[in-house]
Amino acid sequence: MTQETIYARHRIEAIGGTGALLLTALAAHSHGSNGLAITLAVGSVLLALFVLRRPRLRVDSGGLTVVNLVRSRRVPWQEIAGFGYDTCLTIRRTDGSLVRAIVVNTNFRSGYSQARMDAIVADLQERLAAANGTSVSRELERPARGSRNMGFRTTIVVWSVVCGFFLILGVVTAWNAAAGLPRTYSSLDAHGVHETATFAGCRVIDVREHECRLSLAGRTWKYSEDYPQFSGLGLGAPVDVLVDPKHPATVYTAHDVALRYDAGFGPLAIFGIVLAVAGFLGLAFLLWLQHLAAVTRSRFSGNA
């Protein structure tokens, strides 16, 4: 009996989650948080690989190995009584318990067609008959109705987390632009200590992003705000900065404090509002889907 491993063709959670994390990484990168951006980008790739490759069904001469996102189960052929599926393949054991293989399903998350599902189940039935030396029923068994909504609920939960993340990130970004930065600038304007930093140069790190660096008191850091203010400066040129005496790591150029750069209703605030609105609309759409599913179930129950 040949060995075969079945993976999902694709999983929408991996695609959506990866896209969301990559967008967040780009947002972090555009605001100077390269460490966070790299972490999010690497995490998105690892998450996608995990979700795409972790769930699998391995078929061999000894039986089936069902690997779901969290748990793995080994089911020998001698313990299998039959197969069925609703949202995914189910294996009925001789003791009456069910083992679900989420990787084999007909919904949009894996991409298998009904014909492919039928072929997979037919092949498993043939292997079961060959292993046990008995014929098996071609009548597919259906698990309890309550389990059929599990895949839908999982999808709703995953997308709710993604939308909630965008909503929170957008609110925090907009709040920082509308209230956080103006408060910081006002505090520096009133109580900041003037110091002279040293210009450490600028470079272009992608098509549009400039990275400029400043040095002060032996510390060199990337200054991610208005880079055109450094135009024409040579290495080692003095730069007037304001330092928060209570939080010495909070340093802005006197130029940005005077102009209130990126504070108020500007590009940063608009970006945050767009993220927040997208997250809110996504959550509203998911709530509508849940309501629609509940109404549909109620109608089917009434007709049954």
163-207 per-position pLDDT tens digit: 888 888 888 888 888 888 888 899 998 999 999 999 998 887 655
pLDDT greater than 70 at residue 295: yes
DSSP 10-61: --HHHHHHHHHHHHHHHHHHHTT-HHHHHHHHHHHHHHHHHHHHSSEEEEET
Return the CATH fold of 4-143.
PH-domain like (2.30.29)
Count of residues in the chain: 304
User: Once rounded to an integer, what is the mean pLDDT over residues 143-149?
Assistant: 45
This prediction has a pTM of 0.46
- The whole-number pLDDT of residue 146 equals 42
User: Once rounded to an integer, what is the mean pLDDT over residues 60-80?
Assistant: 89
Buried b (16+ CB within 10 A) or exposed e, 39-51: ebbebbeeebeeb
Which of 57-66, 146-155, 206-215 is predicted least confidently? 146-155
Judge whether 88 and 102 are in contact, CB under 8 Å: yes
User: Once rounded to an integer, what is the mean pLDDT over residues 139-153?
Assistant: 51
Q: Where are the domains of the chain?
A: 4-143, 150-304
Query: Residue 179 and residue 55: Cα distance in Å, rounded?
Result: 45
User: Once rounded to an integer, what is the mean pLDDT over residues 85-103?
Assistant: 82
Mean pLDDT, the chain, rounded, equals 78
Which of 2-16, 137-151, 214-228, 277-291 is predicted least confidently? 137-151
pLDDT greater than 50 at residue 304: no
Which of 98-112, 161-175, 252-266 is predicted least confidently? 98-112
Q: Which of 34-38, 114-118, 207-211, 221-225 has the highest mean pLDDT?
A: 221-225
- CA 179 remoteness from chain centre: 28
Query: Residue 128 and residue 63: Cα distance in Å, rounded?
Result: 8
Q: Which residues, in sequence order, are CB contacts of 106 under 8 Å at separation 6+? A: 85, 87, 112, 113, 114, 117
pLDDT greater than 80 at residue 234: yes
